């Protein structure tokens, strides 16, 4: 069993913001496998599903971004999962819009949601998939909470679909294969 966590902020006020691309990837995975994410469990919207012929838990924490750790910790403990069974999906303002970066472990890179998960788990040894939202224009907080322009939205939507493909590859073939396939620019 794998635990796939998309980071974002709950509520319609935050829907469609740059900070919520992790939620969008979970929504795309749920759509693909016809999973119902309306159940609340572990301080998160939750669904059990089959992705790439494996049982997975899809999770969107209902706490705000900076407090994502309790949901991840609770679900992981409940299902007695190893850190190698966890993949966290987040935005990254250091990456160009639409670029994906998958890693098997590493630091938070200034991302407060990832830092909270690392702090709660007591480890950096879990996979994470970052989706580029472009460097900020002005205030970083205002930037991550802003919505994509019309031109940017098509790039963001394609990146979220490609990220869902990367998650499926990670589940089916592992971190190294998914990194080799999805850490490159599309079309290369």
The domain 2-182 is placed in CATH, from the list 3.40.50.150, 3.90.1720.10, 3.40.50.1470, 3.40.50.720, at 3.40.50.1470
Res 185: pLDDT? 72
Residue ranges of E strands in the chain: 2-6, 39-40, 44-51, 54-61, 86-92, 100-103, 127-132
The pTM score is 0.95
19 annotated active-site: yes
Assess whether pLDDT exceeds 60 at residue 188. no
Assess whether pLDDT exceeds 60 at residue 131. yes
Hey, where are the domains in the chain? 2-182
Res 81: pLDDT? 96
Q: How confident is the model at residue 186 (pLDDT cuts 50, 70, 90)?
A: low
d(CA 99, CA 109): 16
Res 130: pLDDT? 97
Res 150: pLDDT? 94
User: pLDDT digits over 138-162, tens only?
Assistant: 899 899 999 999 999 999 999 999 9
Residues 9 and 20 sit within 8 Å (Cβ to Cβ): yes
Residues 170 and 127 sit within 8 Å (Cβ to Cβ): yes
Assess whether pLDDT exceeds 90 at residue 105. yes
Question: Exactly one of 14, 19, 43, 111 is catalytic; which is it?
Answer: 19
Res 4: pLDDT? 98
Q: Which residue has the tokens 């190294």?
A: 176
User: pLDDT digits over 48-100, tens only?
Assistant: 999 888 999 999 999 999 999 999 999 999 999 999 999 999 999 999 999 99
């Amino acid at each position: 069993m794998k635990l796939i966590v998309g980071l974002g902020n709950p509520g319609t006020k935050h829907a469609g913001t740059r900070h919520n691309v992790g939620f969008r990837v979970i929504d795309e995975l749920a759509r693909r496998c016809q999973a119902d994410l309306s159940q609340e469990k572990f301080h998160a919207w939750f669904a059990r599903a089959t992705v790439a012929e494996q049982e997975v838990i899809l999770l969107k924490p209902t706490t705000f971004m900076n407090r994502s750790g309790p949901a991840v910790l609770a679900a992981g403990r409940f299902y007695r999962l190893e850190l190698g069974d966890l993949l966290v999906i987040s935005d990254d303002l250091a990456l160009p819009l639409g670029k994906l970066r998958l890693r098997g472990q590493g630091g938070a890179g200034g991302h407060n949601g990832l830092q909270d998960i690392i702090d709660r788990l007591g480890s950096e040894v879990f996979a994470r998939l970052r989706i580029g939202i472009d460097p900020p224009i002005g205030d970083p907080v205002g930037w991550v909470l802003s919505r994509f322009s019309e031109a940017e939205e098509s790039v963001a939507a394609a990146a979220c679909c490609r990220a869902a493909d990367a998650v499926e590859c990670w589940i089916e073939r592992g971190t190294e294969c998914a990194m080799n396939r999805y850490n490159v620019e599309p079309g290369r």
